[in-house]
A and B are shown apart, each in its own frame.
Chain A
Amino acid sequence: MKSPEPDRGMPGQESKTHEEPISYGLYLLIWLSLIALTATTVAVAGINLAAFALVVALLIAVTKASLVVNYFMHIKFEDRIFKVFIGIAGFTIFVIYALTFSDVYFRR
């Protein structure tokens, strides 16, 4: 697929000219990947991976979520500012988790 350069430096731009409609086919492909990943994560859950089970399950979940965000939610084709938003939110959540777990882990 094409990846139109996000046009920056045009604040207040109102038109949708930068939004070329994505083909039905690409959406279908993303959906197939999501279903395949779901099948994979269920299949993998049956195997005894001990401590890695959670890591693998979460990695697959993150992959699925990024497919949804990038394609279904269109972020891949959006202006850079949207990516900055999501980056800041993601970093904030990371900090919240890191601080909490450093507390939980060292408390004993």
Chain B
Amino acid sequence: MSEITESNAEVLGHAHEEHAHRDDVGAKMGMWIFLLTELLLFTGLFLVYAVYRYYYTKEFHEAGMQTHILFGTVNTMVLLTSSLTMVLSIAAIQRGKKWLSATFLSSTILLGLAFLIIKYVEWSEEIAKGIYPGSPTLLAKSNGEVLFFGLYYTMTGLHAIHVIAGMTILIFMLVFILRNKITKDNYTKLENAGLYWHLVDIIWIFLFPLFYLIN
């Protein structure tokens, strides 16, 4: 009897030591519920886009021709690659390779920065052409084109804010890895941050054809 109690205590004590008050599945589930609310936020905007594209098919087509397919394509590749380095960072920490994980994660953050720089150049060019919300050049265009560019700035802008938020989270994760707060046995934080980063990638996967690939 006493033997059983003793071994029980040992097991419990051991479990407690290894992951005190941890519920990795629960943490991930919470993250997913949050991601679905983010999805709903963008769904609303995509719905507005869809309805106006239906009403102003020709104008959306005309306006869509003016966005830069090259910037859009390069940025798609950049984000997809950042998603790759993100999962590789998790794969590395799962194998206990701290520095490899930190390197991959840093690459993800830098690719996020590259995405924002390209976006900056792209927007600068459009603004130089006089296309920005409320500009005289834009207001002289048809209603459909005004709506297209309004949605273009709103949706890619909101997406860019998400990229910035994601990068901020990833910088924290990098610090956690370097301080051994994220380790081989405890990397749920990194996984959840990765989930957020991939969601941002998925949203871009849909923004890209809708704003850049209208020919």
Q: A-side interface residues toward B, CB under 8 Å?
A: 12-14, 16, 19, 21-24, 27-28, 30-31, 34-35, 38, 41-42, 45-46, 48, 53-54, 57-58, 60-61, 64-65, 68-69, 71-74, 78-79, 81-82, 85-86, 89, 92-93, 96-97, 100-101, 104
Contacts and interface: CB of A to CB of B under 8 A. Distances in A.
Q: How large is the interface on B (under 10, 10 to 19, 20 to 34, 35 or more residues)?
A: 35 or more
Contacts of A104: 51, 54-55
Contacts of A53: 213-215
Contacts of B95: 21
A72 B86 contact: yes
Given A21-B91, A72-B87, A85 B33 contact: yes
A52 B209 CA distance: 13
A96 B48 CA distance: 12
**A-B CB proximity, top 4 nearest:** A57-B209, A31-B84, A45-B213, A21-B94
B205 A64 contact: yes
A28 to B, nearest CB: 7
B22 to A, nearest CB: 6
Interface in B179-215: 191, 194-195, 198-199, 201-202, 205-206, 208-210, 213-215
Interface of B: 19, 22-25, 28-29, 32-33, 36, 39-40, 43, 47, 50-51, 54-55, 69, 73, 76-77, 80-81, 83-84, 86-88, 91, 94-95, 191, 194-195, 198-199, 201-202, 205-206, 208-210, 213-215
B119 to A, nearest CB: 17
Contact of B195 (A61, A73, A79, A93): A73
15 contacts: A28-B84, A31-B80, A38-B208, A45-B213, A60-B209, A68-B201, A72-B201, A73-B195, A82-B32, A86-B32, A89-B39, A97-B47, A100-B50, A100-B51, A101-B54
